[in-house]
Chain A
Amino acid sequence: MAKDNVMGSSSKRREDVRFLKGRGRYTDDMNRPGQTYAYILRSWSAHATLNSVDTAAASEAEGVIRVFTGKDIEEAGLGGVPCGWEITDKNGDPMKEPAHPILATGKVRHVGDPIAVVVAETYQQARDAAEMIDIDMTDLPAVVDMRTAETLGTGVHDEAPDNLCYDWELGDAAATDAAFASAAHVTTLEFINNRLVANPMEPRCAIGDYDQDADHYTLYTTSQNPHVIRLLMGAFVLSIPEHKLRVYAPDVGGGFGTKIFHYAEEAFVTWASAQIKRPVKWTSDRSEAFISDAHGRDHVTKAELALDAEGKFLALRADTRANMGAYLSTFAPCVPTWLHGTLLAGQYATPAVHCRVRAMFTNTVPVDAYRGAGRPEATYLLERIINKAAQELGMDQAELRRKNFIRSFPYDTPVALQYDTGDYDATLDAVLKMADYDGFAARKAESASRGKLRGIGLSCYIEACGIAPSSLVGALGARAGLYEAATIRVNPTGSVTVMTGSHSHGQGHETTFAQVVSDALGIPEDQIEIVHGDTDKIPFGMGTYGSRSLAVGGSAIVKAVDKVVAKGKKIAAHLLEAAESDIVFEDGQYKVAGTDKAKAFAEVSLAAYVPHNYPIEEIEPGLEETAFYDPKNFTYPAGSYLCEVEVDPQTGKVEIVALSASDDFGNVVNPMIVEGQVHGGLAQGLGQAMLENAAYDEHGQLVAGSYMDYAMPLAVDLPSFNVETAEGTPCTHNPLGVKGCGEAGAIGSPPALVNAVVNALQDHGIDHIDMPLSPLRVWTAIQNASVKQAAE
């Protein structure tokens, strides 16, 4: 029997048994017979004309099988790396979409841009030979700062001499202007949302394996969505039809968005394997990951909030420059637009919102979705400017928010979304209590007695998850649908194999999805196997990102389970000699309603595969069902976070003394996994706010190109989190009533921390410091403020 209350129980993560024993099976753990190794020679210049690439000596080096350059790719007629989303700009024109070659030709456009690949018998030989490649480049001025990119006179791409990919807007500009004209108070905030490197624990890896006899390709890769890679690479880059291409992403050691995208290396190894008729493996090292994995965030924004005399929000205006980097990564164009502009209502009934986004090309690594993707940027904008408004008006940060909460649902925002449900007062009340907001003054005084400045910062976030209704995203420029697929294979003796299009790279799907199926079918979790990541086994899948796995992938599983049960009822009715309409399925039993006649789930499955006594005229043997689920709307997780800090004014060092989080994720399947997801998200969000900064210099060199300079959050930097999941408002439009929890922590926490530090320093007249709030930045802000105050 399944255990009681499968849904809502903290089942231990079954995948952890292999992960914790070091027995996870990652792409780099796999080796194919006859495998060769690829080493990629990458540009050390941010922007240069590529005059010549001489591979003669390298080709002769020991162990070298072949050296490939952009010319080889061009001659083979391969497509470039495609972009999966087209934005239409404010004039109705499509975005600029320059070619993204697999290997550079003519020009290199960022440090890390691949120039040539050596394929050799061993990795060392490939790397040795790469040093013999003679490259002649002429440096060009590098485009680095988005604020000057339009007028610099140097274009990253000829198609966009002003480096503008698109100039997009959303919302009613006239209504917004009118509201500003009548406002009692306008708060303005200019800020930078810092660029981040995703840094999954497992660097990327890809193995291409071409089978000449079958004329069939296999790509083993570190991906969050193998079917999407098969579609993009097969159809747009290599012209390999789906039935000739298998993409397999086994255990993947974290993704955080950066493993969503289709990368040139994947296409290269797949294609090269057919050229040399041997498998080709490429494994990124950490330094390479810094300059070849898509980065995240990187906005420069001016925001304005109009309020009336009582503190009601009248309108919000946002003008953002978003960095695309040197090429358009798979989902890059939609991140600052449809995943950012649409979230600018937040939890508030602001009647008018207008958002302008200019996407810029620069000579930097491409920027794309990173945990939260657009929504953290929107939340940061709103939650920071609200605190600045509260500071200017002398109002309490919680009260100002409460004055403006949306309280009736469904709610149509002025930025194109419809929130189905929510209760923002509930999570705010909860977090104020959890964090003892009322006792803050006493704690501040105690800190002051030790020479420390204590601050408290609130952030009330909302996000749109469970991406997304296909027809909607199609209208917005997506070049794919965003449903999910699942197959439930009931085996003859009643165990169940679930094939899901969602991909687990740390999220614990093998546990959560088993709980969902166990609950629905009334069979124990250990009778359920979750299979993911292999295009040969799974009908189709759009993969895992945007906190969509349970809301969309889980819903597909539920739909497939429903089909299994419906067919099972027909079989049971036959076996029990009852009418189908009298059969009920509960606790793993098909029962004749109102009688004690019943057939167990396994008896019915066996009958389906041994159809001796079977309604064969009416239904086919076997018990396997597939469902595709296309969501009707996004889901809207929301919550309130309170961060409390102590600032050391002498060094500028910030210590996070407490972080309390109250989240509404709708229904919760596994509270322990949800809490773990929130913890991870918080660590990344606080990492962005306090530590991480992918800084480039004016020449386009990544200054923070290793852990010597790129600061990652460590356990010692973080407090013990106080996390509670609210009773919650279940999602109204998916069968599980779930909303998604994977990104919340990373979305809600950065403004909470910055608000807390600014709150601590407000007596110094400080109203903003850009992230990350490093000791240097905080100390410098205090110095500048003292100088300013002295002058006044």
Chain B
Amino acid sequence: MSNTVTNVVFAGLGGQGIIKSSDILAAAAFAAGLDVKKSELHGMSQRGGSVTSDVRFGSEVLSPMVPAQEADFLLVLEPTQVEINRGLLRPGGVLLSPDLIPDGALRNKKSLNVAMLGVLSVLLALQPEHWEQGLKECLAVRLHKVNEQAFALGRRQGEARFKS
């Protein structure tokens, strides 16, 4: 197999859990034994400004940043951030926008980031146990249950949307 790298870009606003969701994906891919790199910019972006985070995984990953127009998936948590980031996608790349999760479907709105990972999981080859490990490693124990539910909800939405 040639070295195919999967490129995922997460985008949203500070405080939405962008970094956390990219951590979970990176941990899941790492648990699957793949080479993984994950990169984002910290700092001023924490104060409610735009945040993006890049996750790349495959047999060998070199640069930690997803080159513009090479993202396979663009996962966006905030509708206003869709257009400004669309150019990161490669031709044929998949945009996952927050309207994939119906309003009011989540018990806790804060777990939108994890619900969106559930949607993404339908499109990636990572196994359920890898996702489970990623979620467990990156979230505090008291948050496991609500986030597992959010992930499962996202996965159902993803299946309905992409597997029909």
Is chain B a partner of chain A in the same complex?
A: no
